[in-house]
Amino acid sequence: VQLQASGGGLVQAGGSLRLSCAASGSIFRIDAMAWYRQAPGKQRELVVDITSNGYTNYADSVKGRFTISRDNAKNTVYLQMNDLKPEDTAAYYCTADAATSVVAPMIAVWGQGTLVTVSS
């Protein structure tokens, strides 16, 4: 299973971006999906996660500004980011708990980061 993230870029404060992350390969099942971010010199942190049933858990710092969604038919998760702030600048990573077959264990798969830069 591979994850391909896209949608990062440079935006002014107050602007919006939409990140996408598509899973591909031999996929039997995907459970939770999530977005993490890592700012320069800081630890990677959870931004938001979403279960296969659509339950979400947001970091306090993004509540009310970011919205996660997923299309299970496309094995894709999205992150709509509104009212972006300079402190949102980071590399954003998607992850998914996935299994390749009915007998395979669920494993955490990570995509490559996509860089979001918010200028003040």
The amino acid sitting at 64 is G
Residues 3/79, Cβ–Cβ less than 8 Å: no
Mean of pLDDT over the chain:
96
7 CB neighbour count, 10 Å cutoff:
16
Per residue in 70-111, pLDDT tens? 999 999 999 999 999 999 999 999 999 999 999 999 999 999
Q: Please state, for a pLDDT cut of 90, what percent of the chain lies above it.
A: 100
Structural contact between residues 5 and 94, judged by C-beta atoms closer than 8 angstroms: yes
What is the full DSSP assignment across 20-87? EEEEESS-SEEEEEEEEEE-TTS--EEEEEE-TT--EEE-GGGTTTEEEEEETTTTEEEEEE-S--GG
Nearest to 25 by CA among 75, 93, 78: 75
